[in-house]
Structure 1
Amino acid sequence: MNDSQELYQRSQSGPFLIAGPCVLESLELALEVANFLAEIARREQLLVIFKSSFDKANRSSLESFRGPGLEQGLEWLARIKQETGLPVITDIHEPRQAEVAGKVADVLQIPAFLCRQTDLLLAAGETGRVVNIKKGQFVAPWDLRPAVAKVRSTGNSMIWLTERGSSFGYNNLVVDYRSFPLLEQYGHPVIFDATHSVQLPGGKGHASDGQREFVPVLAKAAVAAGCAGVFLEVHPRPEQALCDGPNSWPLDKLPALLTDLLNIWRLPRDS
């Protein structure tokens, strides 16, 4: 059994957390966050996956910070894995990135805007890594069925599905909590992306805005609705973040929020 298979099995048997800064701003900041998360994982006996992107290819402005790039970004992620013991997840945007990113990342993430891209889904599936498909803001829960089938066609059934809100007019998202039981029907763990769900896409004109104050209520509602994992972009200094600062959750407030989420996860559930 390889690391990705073990990770996927663990994700099927209990709650888990995906967290990290939106983009790899520096190795020092990434390690600061990852070490904080690793301590939480040890203390809570919780599966925690470190998430950060080597490239954010869908930024609002040409001048926006995108990250260190594929080569350096993967070097940083490999070091984070080695030093903290956390599994890592990162986005890929092009099929050619799948194989090389899959040599480091335990999970390959398909960005929401690319959830229907056949070649990207197939390339991710062929790596044998866990594939996290983020549901596009523009698709219904049942529209992910073909995306799941594309990955499965490669012989890889290690798939996560992530709800991150749906477009609701201009520069706004809304979460339909019926999505969780609908996505669960496909037989894979369902994740809630609490921080992107409070994003206001393009809300600043040159960049996205966000309403991080609503992260706790949406995350707690999603756990109550049955999600298996929660995705949170966290940053020690959100106001200084180079990407998605307005919707990132402050790192020092993560333990308190996680306590609330774990208390809900531990409540008895109907079969």
Structure 2
Amino acid sequence: MFTIIAGPCVIESKEICFEVAQVLKSLQEKHKNVRFVFKSSFDKANRSSIDSFRGKGLEYGLAVLKDVKDTFNLPVLTDIHESYQAKPVAEVVDILQIPAFLCRQTDLLLAAAETGREINVKKGQFLAPWDTKNIVEKLKFGGATKIYLTERGTTFGYNNLVVDFRSLPIMRQYAPVIYDATHSVQLPGGLGKVSGGQREFAYPLAKAAISVGVDGLFFETHPDPDKALSDGPNQIPLKEFPNIVENLLKLREFILENGI
């Protein structure tokens, strides 16, 4: 089933998460053949600066994610950064996510795989697409059976990311592929102590990914991105998100119906 993963970058409050989840639920009710997954992080352990907001921690974050799951009947996804987090997080969420910078950490991958949950691995900004084969093999060795690989751009330094769309069909040889439209337009560390972003390019790049062929899309969206506590410049304003999703699903349907 085609999957759309979306939510605010970090869990700032239950109210913001519920506001986003309500939009996802409305889209889910309209598009029964698409799986909508709520995403938000309880901790952002790789922020640019020691002064940056990381989140409210594991206990608070899992409580909010459980409330989202129970209230809206949506699957939920969050990141883990340490092996010890895998088990308690798996008791709440449906999909464990491995951050890009940690995508080759064997112990973390194996701990995630042992939970039996679905696993989404962000391809490292430093990694060639064919190297993700080794990640998938590690996860399968650990017992994982449902694995996604997510493309989020490649860094060549100087606070920028570039998406090589050849990576999508290459990675799909190993596992279903999600295209991360909003992290692909991030400018890592581009504002000095925080990352910048070019959210205006997220939609056209998502259209390109749909055209090339993917199994899902990933977006960070927030009611007021300019006031978001993490990754605001690359997040999609929540009021714009439904229209973007509708157009992308229409494009995908057109491609499938016409065998393009």
State, as a whole percentage, how many aligned pairs show the same letter.
57
Q: For 1:90 and 1:256, locate their aligned partners in 2 and report how far apart those are by CA, in whole Å.
A: 25
- Corresponding residue for residue 228 of structure 1: 215
- Corresponding residue for residue 142 of structure 1: 130
Q: 1:143-182, aligned counterparts within 5 Å?
A: 143-182=131-170
Cα shift readout 1:161-213 (whole Å, capped 9, x = no counterpart)? 00000003310001000011100111x21000000000000001100000001
Q: Is 1:116 aligned to residue 109 of structure 2?
A: no
Q: For 2:160 and 2:234, locate their aligned partners in 1 and report how far apart those are by CA, in whole Å.
A: 13
Q: For 1:57 and 1:155, locate their aligned partners in 2 and report how far apart those are by CA, in whole Å.
A: 26
Cα shift readout 1:137-165 (whole Å, capped 9, x = no counterpart)? 00000111111111100222210000000
Q: For 2:30 and 2:73, locate their aligned partners in 1 and report how far apart those are by CA, in whole Å.
A: 14
Coordinate RMSD, CA, aligned? 1.0
Secondary structure of the structure 1 residue equivalent to 2:37: strand
Secondary structure of the structure 1 residue equivalent to 2:254: coil
Secondary structure of the structure 1 residue equivalent to 2:50: coil
Contact 1:15-1:265 within 8 A present in 2 as well = no
Secondary structure of the structure 2 residue equivalent to 1:266: helix
Contact 2:181-2:206 within 8 A present in 1 as well = yes
Matched positions, count: 257
Q: CA deviation at 1:103?
A: 0.3
Q: For 2:222 and 2:126, locate their aligned partners in 1 and report how far apart those are by CA, in whole Å.
A: 27
Q: Is 1:84 aligned to residue 72 of structure 2?
A: yes
Contact 2:8-2:220 within 8 A present in 1 as well = yes
- Corresponding residue for residue 50 of structure 1: 38
Contact 2:23-2:242 within 8 A present in 1 as well = no
Contact 2:211-2:255 within 8 A present in 1 as well = no
Q: Is 1:133 aligned to residue 133 of structure 2?
A: no
Q: Which runs of 4+ in 1 moved over 2 A?
A: 267-271
Q: For 1:83 and 1:189, locate their aligned partners in 2 and report how far apart those are by CA, in whole Å.
A: 28
Contact 1:199-1:247 within 8 A present in 2 as well = yes
Contact 1:200-1:209 within 8 A present in 2 as well = yes
- Corresponding residue for residue 59 of structure 1: 47
Q: Structure 2, unaligned stretches of length 5 or more? A: none
TM-score (norm 1): 0.93
Q: For 2:46 and 2:105, locate their aligned partners in 1 and report how far apart those are by CA, in whole Å.
A: 15
Q: 1:227-266, aligned counterparts within 5 Å?
A: 227-266=214-253
Secondary structure of the structure 1 residue equivalent to 2:159: coil
Q: CA deviation at 1:100?
A: 0.4
Cα shift readout 1:75-134 (whole Å, capped 9, x = no counterpart)? 110011000000000000000000000000100000000000000000000000000010
Q: CA deviation at 1:260?
A: 1.5
